[in-house]
Amino acid sequence: MEDWKKYVETKKTEGASEAKPSTGQYLILKIADNSLKIAVFILCLVFAICGLFFITDTEKVNWSLHASGLCLGVFLGLLSSKKG
């Protein structure tokens, strides 16, 4: 779903239910649509936090921060991509 108006129009065309469209269902739908972006961002945060606060070996810190940077690049690429 692109926006709330499109969601409401879709719910009206279903016709089977007389209930109004709920914001909770729309929020769940948006989270499901963006689950890959959310997962990559969480992975980026995990690598960054582990590299900055929990790992003491410098080689592993370097690896973790580079992995975090890579995840950030993938996240930004997913964020800027347009669905055709």
Instruction: Encode pLDDT of 24-56 as tens digits.
Output: 988 998 899 899 999 999 999 999 999 999 999
Position 18 confidence tier, pLDDT thresholds 50, 70, 90:
low
Contact between 7 and 20 (Cβ < 8 Å): no
Residue 67 CB contacts under 8 Å (≥ 6 apart), including other chains: 47, 51
pTM, 2 dp: 0.75
Task: Find the farthest-apart pair of alpha carbons in the chain and give their distance in angstroms, rounded.
Answer: 61
